Each structure stands twice: as structure tokens, then as C-alpha cells.
């Protein structure tokens, strides 16, 4: 009997504890809900106050709207410089380019149509933009007029030396369209701003053409001049360099005469040695300490 009363008392205590825990849980949940309610009330009241203020002060509403919907800063348009500015002639350029042509100069310059034919053909053959090719051809013709040298020979050397790439540079240090050794011919760049002008297309064409004209004059023939230009004056052969330039020259003459000339290279059974072999010859010149006069374009 006594045990039964004890069991009933224990059960009563457990029920009391459960009720107390449940009551505590309810109090905790109620506290959380009350806090959330108070927080929402504060936000709601703040929003109502803000709306009332903005309604009473339209200027503040406009300023807030402008700041929230701020437009991105305008980006200044970047315009590429005209091509003629990129190829602007350095100091010491063509002072008399607009002077009347003599009979000899007219023969050198040819007609505008002939220059257009040459420009179009070179542009397609070497895959250079038409405007850029036009600038190079025009510069070659103006240089040829000034120094009295065939412009097609200048263009042929440019084509073989660099493929009309004004930024070409060989392992030996030859630079630009005509692959001029600026370290050897630095004095010729002085009136154009120094050797840093070697990659300026106009300066490079002018200096390279002056070197070529000097070597042709001293050598007594175009072939001898080309052999010296490539740095092979002290050797029995120029490794086919002269033939390559003269072949290109003959093609340009046909183009200038208005003939249809393919822009692709013909298939040659035994191609001449590349300019890499010629550069090796120049290196041999340097080792042998030959005079600088025998070091030319490459």
C-alpha cells in the first residue's frame, strides 16, 4: 500500500516538471515573438516617419531618388589616331615634296595610277591593310624622288627584308622595313631624332634607301650594291639575296606597267637560301672585325 502511494507521488512530480518545462518553453517563444513584434513596430514607425518627411520635403525625396538611381559615369570615347599621324615624317624629312617635278623626277615618280597598281598588288601579296600599304608606297616614292633611286627597287628591298612589317627585327639587330642596322648606321638617324627612330617607317625607309643608294653607287651596279647591303660584300655569294630582290623588282615593274601579275609566290624547285644564312655571314663579318662599311641592312 505504501509503495503504491510512493509511485503515485513520483508520477505527480514528473507531471509537474513537464508542465513547468512546457510553461518555460511557452514563455521563451512568447518572448521571441514579443521582441520581433517590437522590432517590426519600430521599423514600421520609422518608415511612416520617413514617408511623412519625404512627403513634406520634396527636395529630399528628389535627392534620395537621384542618389539611389545614380547613372554610371560616362566613358570618354577613344578615337584611334589617323594613319598619317602614326607615320608622321620625323625632322629632316621631305622639305621639297611639293616642289615642281623635273623630267627625271617625273620618270621616277610615274603616274598616280601606277602607284595605285603597285599599292594594291603589294597589299594583297603581303596581306597588309590598303591604307598602310599606300603610306609605305608613297613614302618610298617620295624618298626615291629625293635621292634619285628607283622606287620599285626600294619597295623590292622592303618586301624581301621585312615583308612590309615596320616592326620587324632580326636576331642580329636589323630593324624595320628595310632591316637597317641602327647600331652601325646610327649617324644617319641623328637628324631624325636618333636611333630610336629606326622603327619609324618613314625614317627607316629614308635611311635604308640612302644606304642602298650609297652601296649601289660605290659598287657600280645594283647587284653589287645589294650584295653589300645584305652584308655579304666579303663573300663569294650573297646566298641568293640579290636574285630574290631583283625578282621582286621585276614583278613590281610589270605591275607598274599595268600587267596582271599573280600575288602568290611561284613554286620554286630549289629555293634560294634564306636571310638567316645571310645573317650568319654578317656574324662572321663581325668575328673577322671587318669594316662597318661592309655591314649593311641586315
Q: Which residues contact 199 (CB under 8 A, 6 or more apart)?
A: 166, 167, 175, 176
d(CA 169, CA 244): 19
> Helix 130-147 and helix 151-162: axis angle, to 10°?
130
DSSP state, residue 169: B
- Domain positions in the chain are 2-68, 103-294
d(CA 241, CA 160): 8
Asked if 140 contacts 205 with a C-beta cutoff of 8 angstroms, the reply is yes
Asked if 152 contacts 257 with a C-beta cutoff of 8 angstroms, the reply is no
- Torsion sign over Cα 71, 72, 73, 78: negative
Q: What is the pLDDT of residue 97?
A: 53
Dihedrals phi, psi of 181, to nearest 5 degrees: -80, 90
Q: What is the pLDDT of residue 136?
A: 96
- Tens of pLDDT, residues 21-68: 545 556 566 776 777 777 778 777 777 777 777 677 777 767 767 776
d(CA 128, CA 25): 84
Q: What is the pLDDT of residue 9?
A: 57
Q: What is the pLDDT of residue 56?
A: 76
CA atoms within 13 A on the CB side of 3: 0
Q: What is the pLDDT of residue 57?
A: 74
Looking at domain 103-294, its CATH architecture is Orthogonal Bundle (1.10)
- Consecutive 10-residue averages of pLDDT for the chain (298 residues): 56 58 60 75 75 74 70 52 51 56 82 95 95 95 94 97 94 92 87 86 94 95 95 92 96 96 64 45 42 48
Asked if 229 contacts 212 with a C-beta cutoff of 8 angstroms, the reply is yes
Instruction: Break the chain down into helix, strand, coil percent, rounded to 5.
Output: 65, 0, 35
Phi-psi domain of 181 (left: phi exceeds 0; alpha: psi -120 through 50; beta: other): beta
Asked if 175 contacts 163 with a C-beta cutoff of 8 angstroms, the reply is no
d(CA 206, CA 89): 10
Amino acid at each position: 500500500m505504501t509503495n503504491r502511494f510512493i509511485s503515485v507521488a513520483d508520477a505527480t512530480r514528473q507531471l509537474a516538471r513537464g508542465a513547468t518545462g512546457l510553461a518555460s518553453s511557452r514563455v521563451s517563444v512568447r518572448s521571441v515573438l514579443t521582441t520581433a513584434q517590437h522590432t517590426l513596430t519600430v521599423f514600421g514607425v520609422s518608415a511612416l516617419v520617413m514617408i511623412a518627411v519625404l512627403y513634406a520635403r520634396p527636395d529630399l525625396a528628389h535627392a534620395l531618388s537621384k542618389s539611389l538611381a545614380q547613372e554610371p559615369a560616362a566613358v570618354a570615347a577613344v578615337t584611334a589616331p589617323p594613319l598619317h599621324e602614326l607615320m608622321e615624317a620625323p625632322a629632316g624629312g621631305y622639305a621639297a615634296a611639293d616642289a615642281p617635278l623635273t623630267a627625271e623626277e617625273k620618270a621616277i615618280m610615274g603616274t598616280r595610277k601606277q602607284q595605285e597598281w603597285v599599292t594594291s598588288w603589294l597589299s594583297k601579296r603581303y596581306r597588309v591593310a590598303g591604307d598602310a600599304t599606300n603610306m609605305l608606297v608613297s613614302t618610298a616614292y617620295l624618298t626615291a624622288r629625293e635621292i634619285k633611286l628607283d622606287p620599285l627597287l626600294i619597295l623590292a628591298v622592303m618586301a624581301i627584308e621585312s615583308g612590309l612589317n615596320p616592326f620587324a627585327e632580326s636576331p642580329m639587330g636589323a630593324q624595320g622595313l628595310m632591316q637597317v642596322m641602327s647600331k652601325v648606321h646610327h649617324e644617319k638617324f641623328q637628324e631624325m631624332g636618333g636611333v630610336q627612330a629606326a622603327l619609324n617607317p618613314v625614317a627607316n625607309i629614308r635611311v635604308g634607301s640612302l644606304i642602298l643608294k650609297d652601296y649601289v653607287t660605290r659598287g657600280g651596279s645594283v647587284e653589287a650594291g645589294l650584295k653589300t647591303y645584305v652584308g655579304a660584300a666579303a663573300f663569294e655569294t650573297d646566298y641568293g639575296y640579290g636574285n630574290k630582290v631583283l625578282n621582286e623588282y621585276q614583278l613590281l615593274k610589270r605591275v607598274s606597267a599595268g600587267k596582271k601579275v599573280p600575288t602568290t609566290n611561284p613554286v620554286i624547285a630549289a629555293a634560294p637560301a634564306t636571310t638567316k644564312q645571310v645573317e650568319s655571314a654578317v656574324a662572321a663579318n663581325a668575328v673577322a672585325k671587318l669594316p662597318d662599311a661592309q655591314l649593311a641592312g641586315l
